[in-house]
Structure 1
Amino acid sequence: MIREPAEVVIDENGRVELPMGLLAEAGLGCGSRLLAYSAGDGRIMLRRAEDAIADLLGEGDL
C-alpha cells in the first residue's frame, strides 16, 4: 500500500525531521538505528539496520 507522502525540508545542516506518523507506520521510534543510502534519481533510502544485517546473513525471510 502506498501512503500519502509527507513533505520534509533539508535544513542548513543537512538534517531532515521525519513526521512521527511516518515513523510509526514504519514501526520506527526514537533510538531506531537506520542505514541510509542513495538509490539514484534523487532518492534516499532508509532501512532498519537489523533488517539489512538479517538479509546479508540470509535470515530475511525466516
Structure 2
Amino acid sequence: MKLDIDRNVCDGHGMCAQSAPDYVRLDDDGEPVVIQDEVPAEVPPAVDLALRACPVSAVHLD
C-alpha cells in the first residue's frame, strides 16, 4: 500500500507528521511531505494513528 496526502484537502495541521514521523515530515512552509510512501500490509500503529488523527481526512492509503 502507498501512503498519500491529498494536498487539496490538507490544512497543514501537522498531525500526520507528529503521528508518523518515519513516514511524513513537514517542509519549511509547514506542508506535509511523505518521505516513506510504502506501507506494509500490516499497517504500523503510527500510520494508523496518522490516518485517524487528520482532522480533514487528507491522509490516505491507496
TM norm. shorter chain > 0.5:
no
| TM-score, length basis structure 2 | 0.24
| TM-score, length basis structure 1 | 0.24
Q: Rg: which structure is higher?
A: 1
